[in-house]
């Protein structure tokens, strides 16, 4: 059964889970969490090559970052000094 009467079943689910019930951050919210200026995130997503966590551009002025994507991105960039120790 659809959670929202105007959505088709295929609209509710992406990659096996409900998309709109996930946590999504604005640029400003994510900047606070990462302790960077929002302009840093804007530069990462507009520069070449693209940098930073994956994002969804809903319009020219609206960009969102999925919390799970941000977590995976941070873990991929994690550096453990103990792993390089002999």
Q: Is residue 27 within a helix (H) or strand (E), and if so which, with residue range?
A: helix 27-34
Q: Which domain range does residue 62 map to?
A: 16-77
In this structure, is residue 83 part of a structural domain?
A: no
In this structure, is residue 49 part of a structural domain?
A: yes
The answer on pLDDT for 55 being more than 80 is: yes
85 pLDDT band, cuts 50/70/90, is low
Q: How many CB atoms lie within 10 A of CB 40?
A: 15
The count of structural domains within the chain is 1
14 pLDDT band, cuts 50/70/90, is low
In this structure, is residue 4 part of a structural domain?
A: no
14-to-4, 7, 10, 26, 54 alpha-carbon distances in Å:
15, 13, 8, 20, 15
82 pLDDT band, cuts 50/70/90, is confident
In this structure, is residue 11 part of a structural domain?
A: no
The answer on pLDDT for 9 being more than 70 is: no
The answer on pLDDT for 2 being more than 50 is: no
pLDDT mean across residues, the chain: 84
In this structure, is residue 48 part of a structural domain?
A: yes
- pLDDT for 73 equals 96
């Amino acid at each position: 059964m659809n959670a929202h009467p105007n959505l088709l079943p295929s609209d509710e689910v992406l990659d096996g889970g409900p998309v709109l019930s996930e946590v999504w951050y604005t640029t400003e919210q994510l900047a606070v969490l990462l302790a960077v200026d929002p302009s840093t995130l804007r530069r990462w997503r507009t520069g070449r090559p693209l940098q930073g966590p994956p994002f969804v551009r809903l319009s020219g002025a609206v960009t969102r970052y999925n919390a799970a994507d941000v977590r995976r991105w941070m873990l991929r960039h994690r550096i453990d000094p103990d792993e390089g120790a002999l």
